[in-house]
Structures are given as C-alpha cells and as structure tokens.
Structure 1
C-alpha cells in the first residue's frame, strides 16, 4: 500500500470517528441540555446564552463564533491539529442542526438532565479528542491567553469556563448555573474516561531497609517488575534505595501484604496511574515507522 493510500485511510478513519463524536455531542446537547434550558462551559456556553436570550440558531452561531478564533489562532495550532479542529467544528455545527428536533424536557428532574447531558457531551468530545481533533472555542482562547499572558492552558480553560458559568448565573439564575456546573463536571470526567479508558493501575514507591527482599517478592509472587532508585534520607542523612513498581488494581492488596510481610516498618506511597504502556500492561498505540533508526 502506497504512502498516500495509508494517509487517506488514516484520514478517513479519523474523520469518521470525529463525525461520530460530533453527533453524540450534538445529540446530548440538544436532547438533554438545550431541552431543559441548561448551559455548558466554554464557547458552547456562550452560544447557548445567545440562543436563550436572542433565539439565535445554535449550529450556525457555534460555527460563526469559532471561525474567527480559528483563523486568528491558525499559527498556534499546527497544520494537522488545525485541520482536525476545522473538521470537528464544522461537523459539530452540522450535527447540532440535524439533531435539534431531538429534545427531552425533564423539568421535574434537572439533575438527571445535567447528568445524562454531561455524560453524552463528554463521550462525544472524548472521541473527538482521542482522535487528535478539537472543537475549537475555549481551546483556542486558552492558547491566546497562554501566548499573551503566559498562563498555562489549563488555567486559561478554567478562566473561560468560570466566566461563562457566572454569566449563566446572572442571566438565568443560580439554580441553572449549579446544574450547568454538574453537567460540566460530568463531561470533563467522562472525557478523561474515554481518552484513558476504563483501565487504571497503581504505582507504589517503597522505602525500606529490606528492599531486596521486597523486590524479590514482587517479581516472584506477583510476576511484576520493579525499579530501584538511589535516594538520601533528609532526617537521617543516610543513603536509601527506593523501590518503585506498578501493579493492577486487583494486585494492590497482595502488594501491601507482601511489603508488610517483608518489613512492617516500610514506608509506602501509593498513587493512581491512568495509563501504563509496556510489558505486562497495555501495548503502545503506535506503530514504528520504517526507516527510523533508534538512538
């Protein structure tokens, strides 16, 4: 297969996936959020405020507000990401218009509307982000803030969302703003879930004078690898070896029991790990290109 055929196949796969994500996002937005006069964060929230106040159509307004930002931010995005952003924005706008008649008013339980709406929006955006795309809006604004004010992108996104939700509270009341906050929170969590997957692991950092015994037990009884780091205790001013290992969630209890069995005085720190690639865990989601030399 020629390189152009591979590129076309890859592009077709990504555009199809982004289109599916766009329609899931649009359906959740119309069916739950707009039907119950709730809002969203970012530029989507601005579009919904304009829709509720002036009855502007959501799809065309979404596209109209995104295009100037997209043109202004083109040089910050990079060619591939910029094209995917343009495709994602256009498909979301189209999907919103095609699904605008699908609505389910749930005035008796706005919490469920916020919950399901945030979930659907999160699934749609998660698919788009997973494929390397974007829907523009707050992403581009956050990059502008980073470029000219030096703020991290995450802080810029938080600023935009905060301003929008405050505006929702001013125009439509505290109740709508709070339910909107629920929808935004659920959406962000679902986006992370879609991108990272249901799989998660636990990383353990163990400081013990019996690190060799613990490492042997981890390898022999759990079948996991371990790494030793050199360290120095600040209080004792003595050299220490720190044992680091990653296990699946269902192996954590066994790991703690093994550590305690080897050294009840061991110091152990456990952290959540959302993605692990390599032997014994997930495969890398990339393929090595021919002609690339290691080193």
Structure 2
C-alpha cells in the first residue's frame, strides 16, 4: 500500500510538471512584445489623447472620463476596473490569454504612470488626433497580435456572447459606442467627433499590426488549363498550388479547381498570368487574415 501511494504521488507530480507552461524563447519575445505594446499605448494616451482632451473606447475611455471629471489618475482607474473585470470574467479567456492578460493589466498601469508627464507640446488638434489614434492602435495591436488581451470590454463582450448570444465584435462595438457617448458628459461634441476619428485610425492600425505588413490573398481559379496554370504559378510566382476536384452543377462536367495563397503584391502578376493563359478562367480572390503552417513557405 505504501509503495502504491508513493507511485500515485509521483504520477501526480509528473502530471503537474507537464501542465506547467514552458518558458521558451517565444515566451520571452511575447513578454517583450507586451511590454513594448503597453509602452506605446501609454505614450499615445498621455502624450496626445489627454493633451487634446480626447476620449477613447474601452476601459481607458472610462478612465479618461473620470480623469476629466474628477482628475482621477488613469493608471489607478485602469488597474482597478480591469482587475475587477478579470476576476469576474476570467473563465471566458483561454489559459494562454489569461497568463498574458494578468501581465498586461499591471504593465499598462505602470506605463501610464511612468509616461504621465510625457506631453508633446503642440496645440494642433489634428496632430493629437492622428498620432494619438495611431500609437494607441500600434500598442493594442502588438498586445493582441500575440494572443493577449487588455481585459476590459473584451471580457464584457465575451460575457454578452455567453448570456445573450450576441457576437463578440458587435458587443465590443456597442460597448465602445456607449463609452464614447458617455464622454459627452465631459467633452464637447467636436471633441467626441475627433475621438471617433482617432478610434477609426486606431482600429485600422490594429488591423495592420495584427495582419502584418503584407496581408495574404487566397485565390480560387476555375480553368480549362489547370495543369499549365499550376506549373506556371509554381515556377513564376514560387507558390504551392492545391488542386481540388469540382463538378459543374448545370453541365455536370468534372473540373479541377486551383487554390493558392499569395502575398498581396503578387496578385497583379497572378492576374496577368491567368489572363494570358486562359481568358475565360473564373477567378475569386479572398482576403486572408492569417496563414498557419509551413506549406505557404
């Protein structure tokens, strides 16, 4: 019995060791990315958004409203609200996202505190709007790129999806709009409209950071010359091609369909190649947000 108990104890210890996350070079890169993202985000808020009396979406928007109304430090407000939301909604995040979110919450507050006096001396509201939105977008984009979150309305959106069957993107949009509209209590209509512009810039910047500098395109090609086009895509564009079997609904004729994922700057070349070899080819181009695996390379 003693031997069996000891073996069971050893097995439990092995399971715990296996469950512990491994610290790898990628983990270090992810942590550094979060640190840089929090730093850039904080510069955008303290150097441009606050001097321009602009609002924001998410919990930082709530923090800015409280700052303008009662001069409460944004660093403290962000930490307290995000910590409460994390406790309430931690089960709606994956384990990976949870680890990095726990790191992100205090880091954002620390960076907001460290850069509190980093104000860019300008009275040009356009500069504050554009660069504020851009830096906020870069910061949040870097954080989201590695799979972390900034807690806040992300958790609220997950909870709305769970209890009210509302899509997460739609819920995020609604929460952000509510917060921006609430900014009217401390901001003018002009400042709120400029805030909307800054949010749009931030959103586009985030998309750019998350998708990468060269978003991919997926191309589906229905052609009478699949073998010829496939070889030319391999040799001229240096991309692998997948051949899928298809059948025309009306003609009932069997056809080979080509499917290829390329860089955006290769799309024009591919179109020229298809047009030269088969003018009657039917081509559909899809946006691709992410490509995984080594087959693309």
TM-score in same-fold range (> 0.5): yes
Quick check: 1:23–1:92 contact (8 Å CA) kept in 2?
Answer: yes
**Change in 2 beyond 3 A, CA 1:81/1:272:** closer
For residue 120 of structure 2, what is the aligned residue in structure 1? 104
1:104, 1:137 → 2: CA distance?
27
1:121, 1:84 → 2: CA distance?
18
Query: 1:4-49 deviations in whole A, cap 9, x for unaligned?
Result: 8952766555434322221211111100001111011111111111
For residue 93 of structure 2, what is the aligned residue in structure 1? 77
1:49, 1:16 → 2: CA distance?
30
2:203 aligned to 188, 192, 200, which one?
Answer: 188
**Change in 2 beyond 3 A, CA 1:214/1:8:** closer
* TM-fit CA distance, 1:182: 1.6
Quick check: 1:146–1:152 contact (8 Å CA) kept in 2?
Answer: yes
* TM-fit CA distance, 1:151: 1.2
Structure 2 gap ranges (5+):
1-16
1:233 aligned to 243, 248, 257, which one?
Answer: 248
Report 1:1-295 matches (<5 A): 7=23, 13-104=29-120, 106-107=122-123, 109-169=124-184, 171-279=186-294, 281-282=296-297
2:143, 2:252 → 1: CA distance?
50
**Change in 2 beyond 3 A, CA 1:5/1:73:** closer
TM-score, structure 1 length as denominator?
0.84
**Change in 2 beyond 3 A, CA 1:84/1:172:** same
RMSD, aligned CA: 2.6
**Change in 2 beyond 3 A, CA 1:179/1:234:** farther
1:141, 1:56 → 2: CA distance?
23
> Secondary structure of the equivalent of 2:181?
helix
TM-score, structure 2 length as denominator?
0.84
- Deviates most, 150-159 or 192-201: 192-201
Structure 1 gap ranges (5+):
283-295
**Change in 2 beyond 3 A, CA 1:172/1:205:** same
- Deviates most, 134-143 or 184-193: 184-193
2:236, 2:155 → 1: CA distance?
50
> Secondary structure of the equivalent of 2:51?
helix
2:240, 2:29 → 1: CA distance?
36
Number of residues of Structure 1 aligned to a counterpart in Structure 2:
280
**Change in 2 beyond 3 A, CA 1:143/1:265:** same
1:233, 1:143 → 2: CA distance?
42
